[in-house]
Amino acid sequence: MSRFADYNIKKITPYVPGEQPRKQRYIKLNTNENPYPPSPKAIAAAISETYKYNLYPDPECSVLTEKLAEQFSVRIENIFVGNGSDEVLAFI
């Protein structure tokens, strides 16, 4: 399977970033940037977890994987979590 995926992925033309608009009236949708600040609840949640910031996160995202499997009624083995599409595609 990985040989098949690698062949097809290698055929894809890579994205070349273009010029970004300088005027404030535009909302950039092509850079994976959120034009809005985080909600107060998200900020409070991040602050409440600062005591853990000195530790590496769980590389298997065990708690998240378990919650997703439960939420969507699938087996844990059917969940794949990664840090963005680049990391996920690197596993193919």
Structure confidence at residue 38 (pLDDT):
95
Return averaged pLDDT per consecutive 10 residues of the chain, 92 residues in all.
68 72 71 85 96 91 96 96 88 82
Q: How far apart are CA 67 and CA 58, in angstroms?
A: 14
Structure confidence at residue 61 (pLDDT):
92
Report angle CA 68, 88, 34 to the nearest 5 degrees: 75
Indicate the burial class of 79 (C-beta count within 10 angstroms; 0-12, 13-18, 19 or more): middle
Decide: 28 and 21 in contact? Cβ < 8 Å.
Answer: yes
Q: How far apart are CA 47 and CA 45, in angstroms?
A: 5
